[in-house]
Amino acid sequence: MQAVGIVLAVLFVAALVLMHRRDRHALRTERGKLFDACHALFDCQRITQESVAWPVLAGTYGGFDVHIAPLVDDIVFRKVPSLWLLVTVKRALPIAGAVDMLARAQNTEFYSPADGLPVRVATPHEWPRQMTIKADRPAADLPLAALDPHVRTFFADPRAKEMLVTRQGVRIVYQAQAAERSEYLVLRRAVFRDARLPAALVGSLLDQAVQVCAAVMKGDVHGHA
């Protein structure tokens, strides 16, 4: 009788292991489809995916080196998690330092460099009120005039979260999707069903980042190091 119990226990554990592997494989496959609609946007691309993590894309878009990384934000316990998209256009820019524009700051934006920037810059009157601007130098040394139309356009979208401009290029953060509310409230799991990035969205975000680069390159007296 004891031997039968041992056999049943082993079979039960084996079944659990198989189910776990099956679920992880299904999760990896599902998340791996994130960029499926976007391949034609890029001159070349490389997608990497570690285990069941979300895939990350590095490639060339319109002659620019770009990097697109999804990031799950589930830090705030009572807030439905977000799947943020970190879209970076790498380009050496003639800007003296770094400036970060963050919408609706909650002091939980672990992906943002804002806390490490020492200068709080007053928000220009025409820009969204719920914006925090941090930099590593005074406003007079920043290309705010060149950024103005792009900031207003980008942050007019309520899903726009952040724009970071540095010597190395431009990064924008955008909410790709919110987690399933019912599943999070009941099970506290961040589930993003059928997460696929539309090519039109990704192209628009890349274009906006490229346009910011172009504006800083053209610049004004405050856009140069």
Q: Provide, rounded to the nearest whole percent, the portion of the chain with pLDDT above 90.
A: 62
Strand 44-48 with 56-61, pairing:
antiparallel
Over the stretch 11-41, which tens digit does the pLDDT of each residue have? Answer: 666 665 556 565 555 567 788 899 999 999 9
Over the stretch 167-208, which tens digit does the pLDDT of each residue have? Answer: 999 999 999 998 766 555 455 566 677 789 999 999 999 999
Give, in degrees to the nearest 5, the angle at Cα 33 between 30 and 34.
110
Q: What is the pLDDT of residue 59?
A: 97
pTM: 0.84
Over the stretch 131-159, which tens digit does the pLDDT of each residue have? Answer: 999 999 999 999 999 999 999 999 999 99
Q: What is the pLDDT of residue 136?
A: 95
What the block records as the tokens of 201 is 């969205």
pLDDT at 224 over 50: no
Mean pLDDT of 62-88: 88
* Cα 80 from Cα 225, distance rounded (Å): 41
Beta strands in 149-203 (DSSP E): 160-166, 169-178
Length of the chain, please? 225
Residue 3 has φ and ψ, to the nearest 5°, of -65, -40
Boundaries of every domain in the chain: 32-223
The answer to whether the beta carbons of residues 116 and 136 sit under 8 Å apart is no
